Structure 1
Amino acid sequence: MPANLTPDYFKAEKWFKQAATDEEKILALEEMMRVIPKHKGTEHMRADMRKKLSGLKESAEKKKKGLQHGFDIFHIPKAGAGQVALLGLPNSGKSAIVSSITNAKTQVADFPFTTNAPIPGVAQFEDIKIEIVDMPPITAEFAPAGIVNAYRNCDLIGICIDLSGDIAEQVKVCLNFLGEKRLLADENNPLGKKCFIIATKADLSPTEKIDELKKLLIKPFEVVPVCPDDLDSLEIMLTAIFRLLDIVRVYAKKPGQPADMKEPFVLHKGATVADLAISIHRELAEKLKNARCWGRNVHDGQNVHKTHILCDKDIIELHFA
């Protein structure tokens, strides 16, 4: 009986042949198994694919154990004011976003699995830098060995949902992954990560797709529609990221001199004058007496105690004993 293979199968087979890592091959092989016609003429092919898939998963598991003693590609040193790791299925638009707003050299293609290792890039937001990391894709059946470590170590997770694709399936896979790995922050998991939704390819989808997406969410995630070619939408996304990172910018000022407005100190929301002093120099912080502050919640040059809580864009002049 002829196999009668479809164009979708040959496309998936091409991805498999081009795959450079076990993780890529697993994802491509799973796609081949999904689209291959299920009849007697493909029985031997499907059996062969199942055998290959089993061997690849075994190989990936061995490599995962080896990470304990070797180089971990998912250990990503932090850069900038915060690190955002992107999560999504193949072709969800992660690479296009990182390529559009950072200096990273990502590979953007019409076929999935082009990202097989984390690719960090730095985006400029006003006067600070924010690190955005393009991560390998996940599927319902597979996530690359060690990828959870990257999400545990980041400051914020951006869940990329392609509005032109199967929204329900993408939401289900991503939220199941986050739930199973205990990555979602809530009252029962304070060590989890704050997450938000990046609705990609918004320019190619009707507006009601956003409503469809919001109805599928089990938590009140912030949803940000994005088009990689639309600078305004990318700026809105960076503004949301800055807010969700829960950070403030503070500008230091020496007595009798203007403030340095080019390179702010970045602190967590709720940080005090004493925390700023510690971030400058721990020994000097012990000699901190008081400070003068210019900002939204004070009069210009107002004297404040070292326990004074700082606001975004405050200017602080420290005085030491």
Structure 2
Amino acid sequence: MGILEKISEIEKEIARTQKNKATEYHLGLLKAKLAKYRSQLLEPAKKSEKGEGFDVLKSGDARVALIGFPSVGKSTLLSTLTATQSEAASYEFTTLTCIPGVIEYKGANIQLLDLPGIIEGAAQGKGRGRQVISVARTADLVLMMLDATKQDVQRQLLEKELESVGIRLNKKKPNIYFKVKKGGGLAFNSTCPLTKVDEKLVQMILHEYKIFNAEVLFREDYSADELIDVINANRVYLPCLYVYNKIDQISIEEVDRIARQPNSVVVSCNMKLNLDFLLEILWEYLSLIRVYTKKPGQPPDFDDGLILRKGVTVEHVCHAIHRTLAQQFKYALVWGTSTKYSPQRVGLQHVMHDEDVVQIMKK
């Protein structure tokens, strides 16, 4: 049996098995086997096999992967938001390779990748799905484009495809400490009562991976699936924004219902509706901030701000300006919402906010 057949057999077995106390060990083992085979499927082909890849050089301040079924309006969105022209037509699979574009917004360059349409079975390699998904893993954010006229079906299928290749959308990494040891068997602990797994199940899952000596500490109540994610250690946790296109073809009540769903934005690319709001939300989800610099005795430089991530400190700002600046740092003066008064004298560990102005003083 090939890997695909094995995966298919296990999926059928999981679907057949009733979920109850008696079958939880059996299901846990099946899930571990399934995750193992899927990981093998995703391992890159041998170096000697030359194929056409979608390797696009990462550039700009952030990278956004545009994913969706064929003909939902991805190329139209790319052409509207960026200066790049991606061929758009009313037939499926107009885009066949990855087309990068750059959104210039609030002084930041955000790289937007228009990926070919994903079809069902993409994780198994159908419709160039595997290359599409491997590029999505390198992004900072997934923009899932859906057709507002048939959204629920599309969203579930896409989430399932991404889930099966280890991309977790809008989820946090499980807080489980896991370390393989050389001996001593399994040391299993938890800091809270566990309702979904017990020591026996953890041991069975680890044995499936041929791990017999390990330390496992659950800091929250997690399921077997999340433990398997931690063992595999190749999962990617990405924020995802669901963009519903073609809202001009549905009723206003339906638009209102969709717009109120979490992580969702409604747009119409053809009629250019709500695209400015989409850019605002995109900026928020990417956690980008602008920091302006100021030289002593001169006004701040508002034309050329530094684009950084939320939570950065003055030390990060120093590295962004010049790699040796932090070593010569004496103190900084900061104007903006991160200070109690302006200017405030701060040290390297001061956390910056959006649109703060900083003046670095050297020794």
Same fold? TM cut 0.5: yes
Counterpart for residue 248 of structure 2: 203
Distance in 2 separating the partners of 1:89 and 1:227: 16
Residue 342 of structure 2 corresponds to residue 315 of structure 1: no
Residue 220 of structure 2 corresponds to residue 236 of structure 1: no
Q: Which runs of 5+ in 1 are unaligned?
A: 1-60
Structure 1 259/97 Cα, relative in aligned 2: closer, same or farther at 3 Å? same
What aligned pairs does 1:1-321 form with structure 2 within 5 A after superposition? 65=45, 70=50, 73-141=53-121, 142-144=126-128, 145-164=130-149, 166-185=150-169, 186-187=171-172, 188=174, 191-210=236-255, 213=258, 221-231=262-272, 233-298=274-339, 299-321=341-363
Structure 1 204/139 Cα, relative in aligned 2: closer, same or farther at 3 Å? same
Structure 1 176/210 Cα, relative in aligned 2: closer, same or farther at 3 Å? farther
Pairwise CA distance, 1:106 = 0.6
Q: How high is the sequence identity, in percent, across the aligned residues?
A: 28
Pairwise CA distance, 1:109 = 0.6
Question: Could you list the runs of 4 or more consecutive aligned residues of structure 1 that deviate by over 6 angstroms after TM superposition?
Answer: none
Distance in 2 separating the partners of 1:228 and 1:83: 21
Contact 2:246 2:268 in 1 (8 A): yes
Q: Which runs of 5+ in 2 are unaligned?
A: 1-40, 175-228, 230-234
Contact 1:168 1:213 in 2 (8 A): no
Structure 1 181/211 Cα, relative in aligned 2: closer, same or farther at 3 Å? farther
Give me the CA root mean square deviation.
Answer: 2.3
Distance in 1 separating the partners of 2:50 and 2:137: 19
**Structure 1 length as normaliser, TM-score?**
0.73
Pairwise CA distance, 1:67 = 6.8
- Secondary structure of the residue aligned to 1:289 is strand
Contact 1:98 1:121 in 2 (8 A): yes
Structure 1 229/303 Cα, relative in aligned 2: closer, same or farther at 3 Å? farther
Pairwise CA distance, 1:208 = 3.6
- Secondary structure of the residue aligned to 2:269 is coil
Distance in 1 separating the partners of 2:166 and 2:262: 16
Deviates more, 1:143-152 or 1:153-162: 143-152
Contact 2:338 2:352 in 1 (8 A): no
Deviates more, 1:234-243 or 1:182-191: 182-191
Deviates more, 1:121-130 or 1:184-193: 184-193
Deviates more, 1:266-275 or 1:255-264: 255-264
Q: How many residues align?
A: 254
Pairwise CA distance, 1:266 = 1.3
Deviations for 1:100-147, whole angstroms, at most 9, x for unmatched residues?
Answer: 110111111111100111111111213222221111011113341422
- Secondary structure of the residue aligned to 2:102 is strand
Distance in 2 separating the partners of 1:239 and 1:249: 14
- Secondary structure of the residue aligned to 1:286 is helix
Distance in 2 separating the partners of 1:201 and 1:236: 16
Distance in 2 separating the partners of 1:213 and 1:204: 13
Pairwise CA distance, 1:300 = 2.2
Contact 1:161 1:171 in 2 (8 A): yes
Contact 1:86 1:160 in 2 (8 A): yes
Distance in 1 separating the partners of 2:335 and 2:52: 45
Contact 1:199 1:225 in 2 (8 A): yes
